[in-house]
Structures are given as structure tokens and as C-alpha cells.
């Protein structure tokens, strides 16, 4: 397992390229996100998605897709003009919007509802990493072994969950306090608050 220091807000090009190369080789990366450490794979890498499933011990395959910007959103999600306008009001930011998945989304990561979570982070390292990969990333919150951190992975120097050996590269940004995104499901012209997290949900209440 490779480990490389990164600066989330002022990332070095070489660090970004090193993590991107690991993802290109069907790897799973542990990376700092805008709300917590994340497990990440490229959306076009089936073997990497299967490895992520093993790490998460997950049978139900629902993950979020993280985009650099809005340019590829309509490729992977079926979004109406009204939904798109709402998403643009809150992203980039600490929100996950659940939308109907398009046919471009790998079936391996879909449940029966055929939905995906959409995220656009407000963090330079992640956005540059997505650009270096040339396609969106599938991400999932990393769970840790330290009870004092409410079960989230927060520090590569002190946390050692049982799945860590399955990760191919750690982008080490030091201790990162964990928070969750707010999750909003958009269906037709309606919305549903699934979880209130870091992003304010007052406008949806």
C-alpha cells in the first residue's frame, strides 16, 4: 500500500497524478474529502468497484458519484431543468442529491431503484484529482476503528480499520474531522430530506 502526503486546499500536481495513476490501475484510494475521508474508485473501473464492495462489506450497491463540475452531470443522471437549477444552487458544497441514474452508470453500482447520489466537492484536491482521472469518481465515507471519532476514519497516523490493507493508496492529509453531507432526494418536482448533515437544509424544511 502506497501512502503520499497531500494538501487538500493547495494540492501539488505530482501528488494528484500519483493518486490518479493508482485509480487508473483499478485501485482504491483513501482520500480526504470536503466532509470526511472517502474511499474512491473511478466510475469506469469494474474491478475497483468490486473491491470497494468488499471493503464496505456491501451487498446493496448504492454509492455517490463525485463530479468536478456540472459538465458531465446529465450523462450519468436523468435531471430535469428544475432539478438542475436546484442542484446548481447548492453545489459545490456538502450536499448529496439523489437522482435517477442514466444508462451510463455501471449496473454493478445500482440498486433496484436505479438511483445515484450526486456530489460536487468544494475542495481543490478532489476536483483536480477528478480532472486528472478524466472521469467522475465513485465515493463512499470511510469508516474507522476509533470509537471516539464516531466510527469515522479521521487520521491515517492513528486509525487502522480491518479493511485498510485492501486500499491501494492513502492520500494522507493528516487528521480530518468527519462530518456527513446532507442528502436530498429529487424526484420529479418534489424533494425529500433523507439526512441533515453539514449542509443547511432549512430551505428544504
pLDDT band at 60 (very low <50, low <70, confident <90, very high): low
Q: Above pLDDT 90, what percent of the chain? A: 60
Supply the pLDDT for residue 110. 67
Q: Above pLDDT 70, what percent of the chain? A: 92
CA distance 120 to 92: 5
pTM: 0.91
Give per-residue burial for 98-123: e unless 16+ CB within 10 Å, then b. bbbbeeebeeebbeeeebbbbbbbeb
pLDDT tens for 65-82 read 999 999 888 888 999 999
Domains of the chain are 2-204 (3.90.870.10)
pLDDT tens for 103-156 read 888 777 666 668 889 999 999 999 999 999 999 999 999 988 766 656 889 999
Amino acid at each position: 500500500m502506497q501512502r503520499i502526503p497531500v494538501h487538500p486546499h493547495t494540492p501539488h500536481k505530482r501528488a494528484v497524478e500519483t493518486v490518479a495513476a493508482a485509480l487508473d490501475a483499478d485501485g482504491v484510494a483513501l482520500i480526504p474529502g470536503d466532509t470526511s475521508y472517502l474511499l474512491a474508485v473511478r466510475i469506469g473501473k469494474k474491478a475497483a468497484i468490486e473491491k470497494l464492495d468488499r471493503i464496505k462489506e456491501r451487498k446493496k450497491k448504492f454509492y455517490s458519484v463525485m463530479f468536478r463540475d456540472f459538465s458531465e452531470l446529465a450523462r450519468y443522471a436523468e435531471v430535469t431543468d428544475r432539478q438542475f437549477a436546484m442542484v446548481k444552487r447548492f453545489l459545490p458544497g456538502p450536499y448529496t442529491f439523489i437522482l435517477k441514474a442514466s444508462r451510463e452508470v455501471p449496473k454493478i453500482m445500482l440498486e433496484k431503484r436505479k438511483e445515484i447520489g450526486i456530489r460536487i466537492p468544494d475542495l481543490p484536491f478532489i476536483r483536480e484529482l477528478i480532472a486528472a482521472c478524466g472521469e467522475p469518481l465513485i465515493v463512499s465515507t470511510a469508516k474507522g476503528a476509533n470509537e471516539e471519532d464516531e466510527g469515522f476514519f479521521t487520521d491515517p497516523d492513528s486509525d487502522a480499520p480491518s479493511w485498510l490493507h485492501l486500499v491501494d493508496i492513502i492520500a494522507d492529509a493528516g487528521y480530518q474531522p468527519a462530518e456527513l453531507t446532507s442528502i436530498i432526494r429529487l424526484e420529479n418536482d418534489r424533494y425529500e430530506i433523507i439526512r441533515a448533515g453539514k449542509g443547511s437544509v432549512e430551505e428544504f424544511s
